[in-house]
Amino acid sequence: MKIKVINPNTTQSMTRLIERSLFTYAVEIDLQVVSPSMGPASIESHYDEALSVPGLLAEIKSGLDWGADAFVVACFGDPGIEAAREISPVPVIGIAEGAFHVASLLGGKFSIVTTLARTIGRAEYLLHETGLGARCAGAHACDIAVLDLEKPESNALETIIEASRAALAADESHAVVLGCAGMAEYVDEVSAAIGAPVVDGVSAALLLAKTLVSLGLRPAKKGEQDFPPAKRYTGLLKDFAV
């Protein structure tokens, strides 16, 4: 089966990191991992998130041409997920959504450890939308900007481990959800260090997407999930007309 993973920011090094982190999980999967050709270098505000969506939607369209059986949106804010679902006849799963579902299936409660505090509001919205808010015992920021995760001087791994350990204790939770695709490569090390399950949304969403494809399930195209009505688009975005 073909699954396309879209990192909706434009930073290629992060896209490659995501691709490497999926290597062991891509069994029986023809995998594409890409960034859009337009938009923000990282997504750390509602402004960035809104402006990542045109590029994401373009990648969904080209993915459909490729014959994708499912998509993963690899940013923890699940940007544009509803618009992506409208134009796609195959499943689209966001990594926040994917992480919340997988962490919930473990039983007990989970804590989120994310990058900047200002992104927690979006995570809370997604917890509400998925219905899994009651399973989240707390959301905590590391105060590391997304693109600093890759920089050695940010001490990202240690900081995430420390924040995860503190979250487990403060929240009396049973698992940690990593709140950024850029943390995917740390999942095993953090889990080993804190002695608790750690969920990375990228691999979680990939295997959930594979599950839906294996089960032969595609979303019904009706009502709010139907293809968008055709119409004229103008100016810079004129090519987005459907």
Region from 13-21, 151-159, 178-186, 203-211 binding a second copy, contact rule CB under 8 A: 203-211
User: Which of 7, 21, 104, 164 is close enough to bind a second copy by CB under 8 A?
Assistant: 104
# chain residues binding a second copy, by CB under 8 A = 93
195: alpha, beta or left? (left if phi > 0; alpha if psi -120 to 50) = left
What's the CA gap between 195 and 191, in Å, rounded? 6
Residue 182 is a binding residue for a second copy (CB under 8 A): no
Closest CA to 163 of 181, 143, 136: 143
State the minimum distance, in angstroms, from the CB of residue 203 to a second copy: 6
Residue 220 is a binding residue for a second copy (CB under 8 A): yes
Structure tokens at 83: 């618009």
What's the CA gap between 53 and 9, in Å, rounded? 9
Residue 152 is a binding residue for a second copy (CB under 8 A): no
Residue 13 is a binding residue for a second copy (CB under 8 A): no
| 14-18, Cβ contacts within 8 angstroms, sequence gap of 24 or more | 14/42, 14/146, 14/147, 14/150, 14/181, 14/182, 17/150, 17/182, 17/184, 17/185, 18/74, 18/181, 18/182, 18/184, 18/202
Site for a second copy in 55-84 (CB under 8 A): 55, 57, 80, 82-83
User: Which of 44, 69, 78, 185 is close enough to bind a second copy by CB under 8 A?
Assistant: 44
Q: Which is nearer to a second copy, 13 or 37 (CB)?
A: 37
Q: If residue 5 lies in a helix (H) or strand (E), which one and from where to where?
A: strand 2-6
Closest CA to 103 of 138, 72, 78: 138
User: Which of 59, 78, 86, 185 is close enough to bind a second copy by CB under 8 A?
Assistant: 86
Q: Which is nearer to a second copy, 33 or 72 (CB)?
A: 72
Residue 23 is a binding residue for a second copy (CB under 8 A): no
Structure tokens at 206: 């990939």
Residue 234 is a binding residue for a second copy (CB under 8 A): yes
Q: Which is nearer to a second copy, 145 or 166 (CB)?
A: 145
Q: Which is nearer to a second copy, 31 or 87 (CB)?
A: 87
What's the CA gap between 96 and 190, in Å, rounded? 18
What's the CA gap between 148 and 154, in Å, rounded? 6
For residue 105, give the amino acid letter. Answer: L
State the minimum distance, in angstroms, from the CB of residue 113 to a second copy: 15
Residue 242 is a binding residue for a second copy (CB under 8 A): yes
User: Which of 1, 31, 45, 138 is close enough to bind a second copy by CB under 8 A?
Assistant: 45
Q: Which is nearer to a second copy, 163 or 204 (CB)?
A: 204
